Amino acid sequence: MNSERADVALIRCDDYESKKLDRAIETCAEIAGFPDIKDKIILIKPNVLNASPASKAVTTNPAFVEAVVRFVKSRGAKEILVGDSPGWQPVLLAAKTSGIYDAVQQSGGTWVDFREVSPHPVVDGKKLKNIPLTALLEKVDLVINLPKLKNHSLTTYTGAIKNLFGLIPGTAKSAMHLQYPAVIDFGEMLVDLALSIPNCFTFMDAIIAMDGQGPGSGTPYSLGIVLASMSVAKLDWIASQCVGYDPKNISYILDSMQRTLGSANVPEPSTYPLRVSEVEHSGFKRLPYTSKLGKRLSSIPRGLRSFAAKFIHLRPIFHKNKCIGCSACITICPAKVLVLDRKNGSNIIRINDKLCITCFCCHEVCPAKAISVGRAPIRIVHRRLPVN
Ligand code: SF4
Ligand code: SF4
């Protein structure tokens, strides 16, 4: 066993074959200092964004979840709970479609849901003093965070920090979008939440990542790595660079590092055995830095801001030729600005642009890739807007 330690374990693993995964998880745990969990109660939190098959790379791969459950069992945990809470779909539907539910059953874990909530204290939060999270946190000794590395239309990149947002049950997540519509504020809230989970270890599934229009409508990208760390901030700092982002331009990652280190100066975390520069990511389609766009907009004089926003701001764009009329976007929209208009056999989503908070929850949940994110200075399909 390798005894070299690093802030972030960064190793190659090119597919989800079970023996390779077992080796990768063991090695990562050793390098990143996985704690003693003998007789402890563990909550494993994969990303079960929605009911998508594993091949789409929307969720943590079920084989990855299974390997982590096997590993936790081998370390003598007393109880292994696995759960998540998608934003709008029934959790069991999402867990079964992704294959994660069966993976948990087969490997001896217990699938749990996050229905019961209790207020979780946040110390020194920038936005929060407490936050309603799954009540399971009161009984578990360690959270094992299993994010998937993906692009994200709102936060540019999603990984360890953002995955913990799923500890807020169901549609209560939408309320946070409404409360913190600006991406920088939303990011500070995410960091408040993530850093308030004291005992948390992350294994990141970046074997098949997602580029393009993530987190729900992007394209699987074979990155071939696994990462692990005791620090969500350090892990995201490294993982975002592994696909070519500069984490200093992603406000919530920079904020999380500065808060973790207690300093505005952020030295590069150590990695082992790979260096970031050894991770090949050519052709990975990145998204624009949304926190930079927000800053650029706020530097424009107030009187011109709403006009300029049409050219700077990214907005949801609805494609009626792909829409299947499922209403998921309408259900999830925290600002309630969408209506479905069925006309001549087409499903047309109409939006009240003035009230849209550009949280992109609609884009995140659309099962038909009928919503993209881009600049839409002139709305053609949505000219006649509904007013709520
Ligand atoms: S329309 Fe989409 S982006 Fe706009 S507020 Fe609703 S969910 Fe958010
Ligand atoms: S745009 Fe997408 S989420 Fe909304 S109704 Fe159409 S298919 Fe469903």
382/329: higher pLDDT = 329
The two tokens of residue 236 are 């995201």
pLDDT digits 0-9 by tens, 112-166:
999 899 999 999 999 999 999 999 999 999 999 999 999 999 999 999 999 999 9
Ligand nearest to the CA of 325: 2
pLDDT digits 0-9 by tens, 279-316:
999 999 999 998 776 666 667 676 666 666 667 678 89
24 in Cβ contact with 61 (< 8 Å): no
State in Å: Cα 337 to ligand 1 middle.
Answer: 7
pLDDT at 379: 58
pLDDT at 298: 67
pLDDT at 174: 87
State in Å: Cα 282 to ligand 1 middle.
Answer: 32
Query: Which amino acid makes up residue 139?
Result: K
φ and ψ of 310, to 5 deg: -65, -25
Note the pTM of the prediction, 2 decimals.
0.92
pLDDT at 62 over 90: yes
pLDDT at 3: 64
pLDDT digits 0-9 by tens, 69-108:
999 999 999 999 999 999 888 999 999 999 999 999 999 9
134 in Cβ contact with 114 (< 8 Å): yes
Q: Which residue has a Cα nearest atom 8 of ligand 2?
A: 326
What is the mean pLDDT of the segment spanning 241-246? 98
pLDDT at 377 over 70: no
pLDDT at 2 over 80: no
pLDDT at 296: 67
Which numbered atom of ligand 2 lies nearest the CA of 326? 8
Cα–Cα nearest to 6, from 161, 228, 205: 228
State in Å: Cα 329 to ligand 1 middle.
Answer: 8
State in Å: Cα 157 to ligand 2 middle.
Answer: 23
Q: What is the 3-state secondary structure (H, E, C) of the chain?
A: CCCCCCCEEEEECCCCCHHHHHHHHHHHHHHHCCCCCCCCEEEEEECCCCCCCHHHCCCCCHHHHHHHHHHHHHCCCCEEEEECCCCCCCHHHHHHHHCHHHHHHHHCCEEECCCCEEEEECCCCCCCCEEEEEHHHHCCCEEEEECEEEEECCCEEECHHHHHHHHCCCCHHHHHHHHCCCHHHHHHHHHHHHHCCCCEEEEEEEEEEEECCCCCCCEEEEEEEEEEECCHHHHHHHHHHHCCCCHHHCHHHHHHHHHHHCCCCCCCCCEEECCHHHCCCCCCCCCCCHHHHHHHHHCCCHHHHHHHHHHHCCEEEECCCCCCCCCHHHHHCCCCCEEEEEECCEEEEEECHHHCCCCCHHHHHCCCCCEEEECCCCCCCCCCCCCC
- Could you report how far apart the first and last alpha carbons of the chain are, in Å? 61
Pocket probe mutation, ligand 1, options 171, 339, 355, 360, max atoms within 8 Å of Cβ: 360
Contacts of 101 (CB under 8 A, 6+ apart): 92, 95, 111
Which residues lie with the beta carbon below 6 Å from any ligand 2 atom? Answer: 318, 323-329, 340, 347, 349, 366, 368, 370-371
pLDDT at 386 over 50: no
pLDDT at 384 over 60: no
CA distances from 105 to 38, 76, 83, 108, 372 (A): 21, 18, 12, 6, 36
Exposure string of 125-141, with b = 16+ CB inside 10 Å and e = fewer, is bebbeebebbebbeebe
pLDDT at 223 over 80: yes
Ligand nearest to the CA of 370: 2
Q: Which residue has a Cα nearest atom 6 of ligand 1?
A: 333
Structural domains in the chain, sorted by start: 8-278 (3.40.50.11440), 300-374 (3.30.70.3270)
pLDDT at 343: 86
254 in Cβ contact with 266 (< 8 Å): yes
pLDDT at 26: 98
pLDDT at 111: 98
109 in Cβ contact with 69 (< 8 Å): yes
CA distance 88 to 106: 26
What is the mean pLDDT of the segment spanning 258-267? 96
What is the mean pLDDT of the segment spanning 314-332? 94
Q: What value does the mean pLDDT of the chain take?
A: 92
CA distance 151 to 168: 21
State in Å: Cα 339 to ligand 2 middle.
Answer: 10
